[in-house]
Amino acid sequence: MYAKIEDFEIAQQNLAKFAKVISHPVRIAIVQLLADKKTCISGDISKEFPQLNRVTVSQHLQELKNFGLIKGEIEGVKVCYCLNEAVLKEYQQLMTDFFQQTIQNLDCDTCC
Protein backbone atom coordinates (compact mmCIF):
# COMPACT_ATOMS: atom_id res chain seq x y z
CA MET A 1 0.00 0.00 0.00
CA TYR A 2 1.31 3.43 -1.00
CA ALA A 3 1.18 6.42 1.30
CA LYS A 4 -0.49 9.57 0.09
CA ILE A 5 1.78 12.48 -0.70
CA GLU A 6 0.11 14.44 2.10
CA ASP A 7 1.59 11.96 4.59
CA PHE A 8 5.05 13.44 4.00
CA GLU A 9 6.63 16.68 5.18
CA ILE A 10 6.05 19.80 3.06
CA ALA A 11 9.77 20.05 2.30
CA GLN A 12 9.77 16.46 1.05
CA GLN A 13 6.73 17.11 -1.11
CA ASN A 14 8.26 20.27 -2.57
CA LEU A 15 11.58 18.60 -3.25
CA ALA A 16 9.82 15.74 -5.04
CA LYS A 17 7.83 18.18 -7.20
CA PHE A 18 11.02 20.03 -8.11
CA ALA A 19 12.83 16.80 -8.93
CA LYS A 20 9.95 15.77 -11.16
CA VAL A 21 9.88 19.04 -13.10
CA ILE A 22 13.62 18.97 -13.81
CA SER A 23 13.74 15.22 -14.39
CA HIS A 24 13.98 15.59 -18.16
CA PRO A 25 17.29 16.53 -19.83
CA VAL A 26 15.53 19.02 -22.15
CA ARG A 27 14.21 20.95 -19.17
CA ILE A 28 17.65 21.02 -17.59
CA ALA A 29 19.10 22.23 -20.91
CA ILE A 30 16.47 24.98 -21.14
CA VAL A 31 17.24 26.19 -17.61
CA GLN A 32 20.97 26.17 -18.37
CA LEU A 33 20.42 28.01 -21.66
CA LEU A 34 18.40 30.73 -19.96
CA ALA A 35 21.06 31.06 -17.24
CA ASP A 36 23.87 31.25 -19.82
CA LYS A 37 22.10 33.95 -21.84
CA LYS A 38 21.66 36.10 -18.71
CA THR A 39 18.68 37.77 -20.37
CA CYS A 40 15.23 37.00 -21.65
CA ILE A 41 15.11 34.99 -24.82
CA SER A 42 12.52 36.32 -27.20
CA GLY A 43 10.94 34.50 -30.07
CA ASP A 44 11.36 30.86 -30.89
CA ILE A 45 13.52 29.20 -28.23
CA SER A 46 13.23 25.91 -30.13
CA LYS A 47 15.86 27.24 -32.57
CA GLU A 48 18.34 26.65 -29.77
CA PHE A 49 17.44 22.93 -29.85
CA PRO A 50 17.45 21.91 -33.53
CA GLN A 51 17.34 18.21 -32.61
CA LEU A 52 13.85 18.71 -31.15
CA ASN A 53 10.64 19.77 -32.76
CA ARG A 54 8.99 23.01 -31.77
CA VAL A 55 6.01 21.36 -30.05
CA THR A 56 8.30 19.31 -27.80
CA VAL A 57 10.26 22.38 -26.69
CA SER A 58 7.02 24.27 -26.14
CA GLN A 59 5.67 21.50 -23.90
CA HIS A 60 8.84 21.52 -21.79
CA LEU A 61 8.72 25.32 -21.52
CA GLN A 62 5.13 25.07 -20.35
CA GLU A 63 6.07 22.55 -17.63
CA LEU A 64 8.83 24.84 -16.38
CA LYS A 65 6.56 27.87 -16.51
CA ASN A 66 3.67 26.10 -14.73
CA PHE A 67 6.06 25.19 -11.93
CA GLY A 68 7.40 28.73 -11.75
CA LEU A 69 11.03 28.11 -12.67
CA ILE A 70 10.72 30.31 -15.71
CA LYS A 71 8.69 33.38 -16.48
CA GLY A 72 7.27 34.19 -19.87
CA GLU A 73 5.76 37.40 -21.09
CA ILE A 74 3.58 37.28 -24.18
CA GLU A 75 3.91 40.35 -26.39
CA GLY A 76 1.80 39.87 -29.49
CA VAL A 77 3.24 36.84 -31.27
CA LYS A 78 6.50 36.94 -29.28
CA VAL A 79 7.23 35.34 -25.94
CA CYS A 80 10.12 36.37 -23.72
CA TYR A 81 11.42 33.65 -21.38
CA CYS A 82 13.71 34.11 -18.41
CA LEU A 83 14.50 32.33 -15.17
CA ASN A 84 12.64 33.06 -11.96
CA GLU A 85 15.57 33.71 -9.65
CA ALA A 86 13.52 33.63 -6.45
CA VAL A 87 12.14 30.16 -7.22
CA LEU A 88 15.57 28.87 -8.23
CA LYS A 89 17.07 30.09 -4.96
CA GLU A 90 14.22 28.53 -2.97
CA TYR A 91 14.84 25.11 -4.50
CA GLN A 92 18.59 25.51 -4.32
CA GLN A 93 18.17 25.87 -0.56
CA LEU A 94 15.86 22.84 -0.38
CA MET A 95 18.37 20.72 -2.31
CA THR A 96 21.27 21.99 -0.21
CA ASP A 97 19.42 21.23 3.02
CA PHE A 98 18.48 17.77 1.73
CA PHE A 99 22.03 16.81 0.78
CA GLN A 100 23.63 18.33 3.87
CA GLN A 101 21.24 16.49 6.17
CA THR A 102 21.56 13.23 4.25
CA ILE A 103 25.37 13.33 4.16
CA GLN A 104 25.57 14.42 7.79
CA ASN A 105 23.43 11.46 8.85
CA LEU A 106 25.29 9.04 6.63
CA ASP A 107 27.37 6.43 8.42
CA CYS A 108 29.03 4.17 5.90
CA ASP A 109 30.94 2.30 8.62
CA THR A 110 27.73 0.64 9.75
CA CYS A 111 26.43 0.01 6.23
CA CYS A 112 26.88 -3.17 4.20
Mean pLDDT of successive 10-residue segments in the chain (112 residues)? Answer: 78 93 95 89 81 89 93 72 94 94 81 67
The per-residue pLDDT for range 15-43, each reduced to its tens digit, is 999 999 999 999 999 999 999 987 787 77
User: Half-sphere exposure of 95 toward its Cβ, with a 13 Å CA cutoff?
Assistant: 10
Domains of the chain and any CATH numbers? 5-104 (1.10.10.10)
* pTM greater than the 0.95 cutoff: no
